[in-house]
């Protein structure tokens, strides 16, 4: 009887110590789920979800405060991936899905006010006060945050068209041909 109790108690102590040690030794810094969600989000930092950037939105999703269908640049594809990751149900996107865009500054109209530079979350606009600004195409995420601050409305969003750099082979589609029925 006593031996049994001692054995069980000893087992409990050993396992408890092991678990306690492991929880300290292998402690995970930060929330891994937030990072996973953040990796799915498109990183446009546009704030269209209502949060000031992709990371805060990811944090809100993981805390259960935000829905997974609030990110228009991610599109339905993003919603599906988030649903997959979090085991939630796929919901239709809470906005219109737009093709990927780029901001373009119409250089003749630009007055060099630097407001768009301050608005750009990813430092994709270059220029100086009273000098013409321009968008660095390869860095622009198409978040539209620069459009509103422009006092002379010289920023346009243009959808990215297909070119030889981004062209993709299409999914093989079997052509459907009308079959002549024997009379």
Partner 1 sequence: MSRVRDFHGKATRMLQRLFSFKGGVKPQTHKTPSVQEPIAIAPLPSRLYVPLHQSIGGAANPLVEVGERVRKGQVIGGADAWLSAAAHASTSGTVLAIEEHLAAHPSGLPTLSVVIEPDGRDEWVERTPLDHRSLPPEQVREALRDAGVVGLGGAVFPSHAKLTTAAGVAVEELVINGAECEPYMSCDDVLMRERAEEIVRGIAIFRDLLAARQVLIGIEDNKPEAVAAMQQAVEQVGEDYQVVAVPTRYPAGGAKQLIRVLTGKEVPASKRSTELGVQCFNVATVYSAYRALAFGEPVISRIVTLAGNLERPRNWEVRLGTPLRDLLALGRPKADTDRYLMGGPMMGFALPSLDAPVVKASNCIIAASPTMFAPSPPEMPCIRCGACAEVCPHELQPFELYWFSRARNFGKTQEYHLFDCIECGCCSYVCPSHIPLVQYFRFAKSEIWSREREKNGADAAKARFELRNAREEREQAEKAARLAKGAAARAAEKQARAVVAVEPATADSAADSAADSAVSVASPPLKPVDAPAPVAAIAPASPAPPEAPAPELDAEAIKKATIVAAMERARAQRAAVQPRNTDQLTVEQKRQLAAVDARRAALQAEELEEAAERGAARASVETPKQVEKQGRTAE
Give contact residues for partner 1 (rule: CB under 8 A): 38, 41-45, 53-54, 121-124, 128-131, 139, 141, 162-164, 166-172, 174
Q: How far is the CB of 105 from partner 1 (least distance, A)?
A: 18
Residue 154 counted as an annotated binding residue:
no
Q: Closer CB to partner 1, residue 26 or residue 171?
A: 171
Alpha carbon distance 110, 120 (integer Å): 16
Q: Pairing relation of β-strands 155-159 and 125-126?
A: unpaired
Residue 19 C-beta: closest distance to partner 1, Å: 34
Would you say 10 or 39 has its CB closer to partner 1? 39
**Shortest Å, Cβ 168 to partner 1:** 4
Cβ 53 to partner 1 shortest distance, Å: 7
Residues at the binding site for [4Fe-4S] cluster are 46, 49, 54, 71, 110, 113, 116, 120, 140, 143, 146, 150
């Amino acid at each position: 009887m006593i031996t049994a109790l001692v054995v069980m108690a000893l087992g409990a102590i050993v396992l408890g110590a092991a678990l306690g040690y492991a929880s300290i030794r292998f402690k995970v810094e930060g929330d891994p789920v937030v990072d996973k969600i953040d990796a799915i989000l498109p990183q446009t930092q546009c704030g269209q979800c209502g949060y000031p950037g992709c990371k805060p939105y990811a944090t809100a999703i993981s805390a259960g405060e935000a829905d997974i269908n609030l990110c228009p640049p991610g599109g339905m594809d993003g919603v599906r991936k988030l649903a997959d990751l979090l085991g939630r149900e796929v919901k239709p996107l809470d906005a219109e899905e737009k093709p990927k865009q780029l901001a373009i500054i119409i250089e003749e109209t630009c007055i060099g006010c630097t407001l768009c530079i301050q608005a750009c979350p990813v430092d994709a606009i270059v220029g100086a006060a009273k000098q013409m600004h321009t968008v660095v195409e390869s860095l622009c995420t198409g978040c539209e945050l620069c459009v509103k601050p422009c006092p002379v409305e010289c920023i346009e969003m243009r959808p990215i068209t297909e070119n030889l750099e981004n062209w993709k082979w299409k999914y093989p589609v079997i052509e459907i041909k009308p079959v002549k029925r024997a009379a």
